Amino acid sequence: MCIPKAWGSRRHFTYEERFYIEIALKNHTSVATIAEHLHFTRKNIYREIKKGLVMQKGQSALVDEMLVYKADYAQRISALRQSKKGSSLKIGKRIDLAETIEYLIKSKGYSPFAALDTLKANNTQNLFCTKTLYNYIHAGVLDLDMSDLPMKGLQIRKKKNAYKHAHKRLHGKSIEVRPERVSDRTEFGHWEGDLIVGAQGSKTVVFTLVERKTKMLITQKLPCKEMAGVVGIINSLEYKFGRRFSDVFKTITFDNGSEFQDFHGMETSQFKCRQDHKRTEIYYAHPYSSYERGQNEVTNRFLRRKLPKGKNLGAYSKQYIQDVTKWINSYPRKSVAHLGCHTAEQAFEKELDQIKHNTS
C-alpha cells in the first residue's frame, strides 16, 4: 500500500487506509504503530476508530456483543457526513440492524417501508422513519442503491385517460351507479378484478381479485381468457365462503374485457336457499380508465415483480402463483396500518372474524 506522507494534515482517510486499520486492529496492532504506518497522528487514528465502531456478535459464548471497527461502515459514515455536513446517524453503530435491512430489501424484495415495519413488528427498538432510510440509501450508508428497491425508486403516476367516455358498454351496471360507500374504502367487501396476460401468443392468464379496504389478493391461473373461467372462479369462491359469500363479496368492479361480460353468471348464486338467487353486484369501469380500479392496478404491478411482463405465464405452476400471492398478502403494508394490522392477510382475517361474530 502506498501511503502519502501527511503528518498532521486534514486529509481524509481512504478506504484502503480504513481497511488497513480494520485488519491491524484484528491483529492487535497498537494505535501508535498504525499511526506511524499511515502517517497520521494517534489522535487521528483514535478519532477514526471511534467513528467506525459497530456492534457485532461476540466470537465466544462469554461475549454476546462487542464493539469492533469496520472499514465499510466508517467509509459510509464519512460519505454521509460529507454530504450532510456532519449530521449524526439514527442507525447508530448497529451493523446488525443495517445488515437485516439490506437482507430484507435485497433478498426478500421488501420496500424500505416494509423492511422497517417488519422490524417494528419484531419489537426492534430505536428505529427511524422511512424517509431517513431512503436518505441512507441515497447517501451510501447502507449497501443498497435505488436499483435494489422493488419499484426502482420511481413514483407511479396515476393518469386520467382522455377517452373516459369514448365508448359505451352494451351490458352491465356502470361504475357511475355504484354506491358511494364503495369509494371511501371504509366498508369491507368491495373488490376489483382483472386478468394479467403473458407473452404475446401465449394463452395462459392469471385472474386477480383485490379487496379495496384490506388489500387482500386472490389469484387463479386460467388456461385462457374466457367468461366461463371467470364465472367458475366466482363459483368456487362461493363454495369456499358459503353463506358468508355475500358479506365478503358485496361488489366486484371489472374493466370492459369480454371475459367479464357474463355479469348475470357472476351475480347469480348456485345455492337455491338464497333469496332472488343473487350473491353479489357486478360493476364496470369506463373504457380506458384503469385508474378507476386503482387498487387492482397497483396490486397487479406488485404481482409483476414475480411474474414479469413478456413471460409465458403457462410456465409458472399453480403452486408458484399461490406462493407469490401468499408473499404479497403477508407483505407489510403501510396502507393497512390504520386498521391496526401489518399485512393484508391480517386485515382480511380481522374482517372475517367480525363477520363471523355478527352472524353467529
pLDDT the model gives residue 68: 85
Give which of 228, 224, 246 is closest to 237, Cα–Cα: 246
pLDDT the model gives residue 81: 63
pLDDT the model gives residue 14: 85
Chain centroid to Cα 26, Å, comes to: 39
Give the residue carrying C-alpha cell 443498497.
144
Other C-beta atoms within 10 Å of 309: how many? 9
pLDDT the model gives residue 122: 80
HSE of 3 in the Cβ direction (CA atoms, 13 Å)?
19
pLDDT the model gives residue 151: 65
pLDDT the model gives residue 314: 92
pLDDT the model gives residue 6: 43
Q: What is the percentage of the chain residues whose pLDDT exceeds 90?
A: 36
Give which of 37, 43, 2, 5 is closest to 21, Cα–Cα: 37
210-238 residue pLDDT tens: 999 999 999 999 999 989 999 999 999 99
pLDDT the model gives residue 193: 95
pLDDT the model gives residue 152: 57
Cα–Cα dist 235/258, whole Å? 18
112-121 vs 95-106: helix crossing angle, rounded to 10: 120
pLDDT the model gives residue 134: 82
Using 50 as the pLDDT threshold, list the residues of the chain that sit under it. Answer: 1-10, 85-86, 154-170
How long, in residues, is the chain? Answer: 360
Which long-range contacts link 296-301 to residues 24+ away (Cβ below 8 Å)?
A: 296/192, 296/193, 296/194, 296/208, 296/210, 297/194, 298/156, 299/208, 299/210, 299/215, 299/217, 299/328, 300/194, 300/196, 300/208, 301/151, 301/156
Q: What grid cell was written down for 325?
A: 400471492
